[in-house]
Structure 1
Amino acid sequence: MKILCTFGKYQYGNPDRGIGTEYAAFVSALKRLDHQVIHFDSWDKTIFSNYAELNQSLLKIVEQERPDVMLTVQRNYEIWLETLKIIQARGDVATISWTTDDSWKYQEVSRFIGTAYHAMTTTYAEVVDKYNKDGIPNVLLTQWAANPEILQEPIPAELCHYQVSFVGAAHGDRKQRITELKSKGIEVTCFGHGWPNGSIAAEEIPRIMRESIISLNFANAYKGVNQVKARNFEVPGAGGFLLTEYAPGLERAYIDNKEISVFYSTEELAEKIQYFLANLAERDAITQTGFYRTKQEHIYDIRIQEILNFALESHAKWKINNPKYHTISFEKAFEEHTLNSGLQFLQTFLIFLCFLIWGRKRCLQAARRLMFEISWRFLGDKTFMASGWVGRMFPYV
């Protein structure tokens, strides 16, 4: 099949942040499954001058390439509802969106865009009922996974180069936690943005995981509850021993103290580190079992095939239930995506206000975020339309 992947190539659309998790995982999996992949970068702020140009280009590539499936990852309002509904109504393209951070983004994003897709995915079981109650029945509960290209048999603890390692940015309370471990006599070798060792090449990460007696993972999220992320699968997939902070839903993927090990507090983390460093045979057994569980159930090739099947099934059902579906005019949407004098005044006011509070470097981004928070709360799905205020006021901030 021909698959149109509509999401960023780089993390947050920024080449300095490296290749994005979704791009690295989904594109390679689709190619391994012998699909033809077309990538449309909807996150890179240097490609298009505004959202109107982005949406025009997306419709054009759909018309030219006529993909069987369009798989998107939406950050927020970059793809208009009008654009999605035009593609949805074509009849020849099954559309499905992989959602991220639904623990908090469901309320802000997913519930507003869900009806414009034939199918949605979520990695949070607790929001499936919310989708259904909001009139979005075609939702697939899925999860992150490991890239099969990094799969390696574990090595014994006695051959590992690192005792305890952590790979990830030094944001949130991670520095504080590492400091607390150090105060208890536990040294952790850290890699990533904000640590003394700095960032490392992507291909080095699986090696570090495999060559660490213990690989740590912190589940703290930008907002809301702890989250299951790709790292939960990448560590055991790379042949590493995963000691991870608990996140809801993790028990559906692995068995604690049999395939991975879970902690709930920094105190328990320190105790478990000391325990497994003193019980290497038990560590090796858990590592081996976790690796085989990952290899058999938690690789992206399996996830992507499930997603494609679900998209096609949902598309077929949608066509039966919507035999006379009429779409809207993109030309009208395009005309509504203009910055009038009223919005220009509001834009200037918000930027000035945020400048007084956060300074020159952060004022533009802060103003956009403030407008978005106001918009989804009071304007709802209009936030994600061509006429949405925040998209008109702050293109590519």
Structure 2
Amino acid sequence: MKILLLGGSTKPGTTEYHFTQALRNLGHEVKTLCYADNLTRTRYDLIRFTLESPMRRIGLNTSFMNLFRRTILETLKKWRPDLCLIVKGEFLSKQMLEEIHEYCNIPLYDTDVPRFILKTGSLIEILLSTHLQEALDYIDLIATPSKKCVQIYQKLGARKAVHIPFACNPQMHYVPLREKKLKTVLFAGALYPRRTKILRELIKRRLPIMIYTGSKIQSKLLNKWVRKPVWGRKFALLHNISRIGLNIHIESDLTWKANMRTFEIPASGTLLLTDNTEVVKEYFIPRKEIETWDTFDELIEKIDYYLSLSLEDILSMIENGQKRAIKEHTYGHRMMRLIESLKIRAA
């Protein structure tokens, strides 16, 4: 099958990158058009801010997006794909979706919807819902990593909505188990308020934590412990040499979806220590494949406990988590479900 993938960036570690690799591994021919791939960081940040503002999401356009639109239409005319897979879709207006739909089916994978539907009844939510309802007229399938959002999309009028969680990419994240590991806790990711608060407290307790982030650091305490951000294979290798991989969901994800690290950390061959949510329990068994925490005091207690054990004592849990991730939670599994949900037979 010929698939045109539209997104923000195919940089290693992004959802777009993982989808592309998985689809090609499944035998599909994939072309990607991502608006940020050839932009400087400053230009990218400026455009992303414009695209992700509420006003952009109710249909405003930019000159940059008009240029991107022409590139999309030229590719559709020349290449004639069987479907156009859109990741997130913050860059697409109703007009662009209508034009794309004249050429092929459109599945949309929306990663961030929960953040925009948390406060019901607000003016912004009404505007977003109206814009989304209009967009759904041209979307054949909408997929979401949040099971709760399936019902929301259905109420908004989606033709078909399915739950497709994030996953791991074995080619990037799988690393064989090590016989030796550093007695360290590793956190890699953006420093949202909840994460910053928790990490500050861990540092105050003088725990052996390594923090990798690209976020701007306002705290002098945190600044001494922070290292440059890591993605892709380096993300997996650094987790592999650490005893514990710490996962802290951002506030708006807690009850909505399991984030990417929920699957990437176990695949890398280290112990996943993550916030205890019902969402996470859908994918892994606590105390057998991963470990969870409810309160900050419990987090401290479990870090101390697992660092005090020998690696042999926790190796079976790490191995179980890795096996589960590779066996059931890869992007290959997710893309097969997406294609099957569209009911389009692969060429």
Q: With structure 2 as the length reference, what TM-score do the two structures score?
A: 0.78
Following the alignment from structure 2 to structure 1, what is the Cα–Cα distance between the partners of residues 190 and 68?
Answer: 30
The answer (yes or no) to whether the contact 1:227–1:247 under 8 Å persists in 2 is no
The residue identity in structure 1 corresponding to 2:35 is S
Higher radius of gyration, 1 or 2:
1
1:119 matched to 2:141? The reply is yes
Cα distance change of structure 1 residues 262 and 49 upon mapping to structure 2, 3 Å threshold: same
Distance 1:114 1:302 in 2: 25
**1:99-143 C-alpha deviation (Å, 9 max, x unpaired):** 112222455365552332111101111121222222214111110
Q: Which of 67, 75, 79 is the matching residue for 2:92?
A: 79
Identity of aligned residues (%): 23
In structure 2, the CA distance between the partners of 1:222 and 1:132, relative to structure 1 (3 Å rule), is closer
Q: 1:218 aligns with which of 227, 232, 248?
A: 248
Counterpart in the other structure of 2:25: 32
What amino acid is the match of 1:253? Answer: Y
Out of 147, 166, 177, the position equivalent to 2:187 is: 166
Q: How does 1:129-148 map to 2 (within 5 A)?
A: 129-148=151-170
Question: What one-letter code is carried by the residue in structure 2 that aligns with 1:42?
Answer: Y
For residues 288 and 151 of structure 2, what CA distance do their matches in structure 1 show? 31
The alignment partner of 2:193 has SS state of coil
Contact 1:94 1:312 in 2 (8 A): no
SS in 2 for 1:70: strand
Aligned partners of 1:88 and 1:118 also within 8 Å: no
Sort the Cα spacing of 1:238 and 1:163 in 2 relative to 1 into closer, same or farther, 3 A.
same
Q: Secondary structure of 2:111's match?
A: coil
The 1:188/1:112 distance shift into structure 2, 3 A limit, reads farther
C-alpha change, 1:165 and 1:290, in structure 2 (3 Å) is: same
Residues 223-278 of structure 1: CA deviation (Å, up to 9, x unaligned): 78564111110111111110012345211111111111111221111111112223
Q: Is the 8 A contact 2:133 2:157 kept in 1?
A: no
Map of 1:254 onto structure 2: 284
Q: Which residue of 1 aligns with 2:237?
A: 207
Q: How many residues were matched structurally?
A: 302
Q: Is the 8 A contact 1:219 1:246 kept in 2?
A: no
Q: CA RMSD in A?
A: 2.6
The structure carrying a bigger helix percent of its residues is 1
Distance 2:207 2:254 in 1: 29
Gaps (5+ residues) in structure 1?
11-17, 315-397
User: By how many angstroms is 1:64 displaced?
Assistant: 1.2
The structure-2 alpha-carbon separation of the partners of 1:162 and 1:111, relative to structure 1 and needing over 3 Å to count, comes to farther
Show the counterpart of 1:42: 35
Q: Of the candidates 272, 278, 281, which is equivalent to residue 242 of structure 1?
A: 272
Mark the CA change 1:210 to 1:223 in structure 2 (over 3 Å): closer, same or farther.
closer
Q: Residues of 2 paired with 1:143 and 1:297: CA distance?
A: 11
Residue 177 of structure 2: aligned partner: 154
Q: Does 1:102 align with 2:113?
A: yes
TM-score norm. by structure 1 comes to 0.69
Q: Between 272-281 and 61-70, report the one with greater CA deviation.
A: 272-281
Per the alignment, residue 22 of structure 1 pairs with: 15
Q: What's the secondary structure of 1:116's corresponding residue?
A: coil
For residues 331-375 of structure 1, give each alpha carbon's deviation from its aligned partner in whole angstroms, at most 9, with x where no partner exists: xxxxxxxxxxxxxxxxxxxxxxxxxxxxxxxxxxxxxxxxxxxxx
* Structure 1 residue 201 displacement after superposition: 5.6
Q: What letter corresponds to residue 114 of structure 1 in structure 2?
A: L
Give, in angstroms, the shift of residue 210 of structure 1.
1.2
What residue number does 2:72 align with? 58
CA distance in 2, matches of 1:4, 1:272: 45
What's the offset of the Cα at 1:302? Answer: 1.2
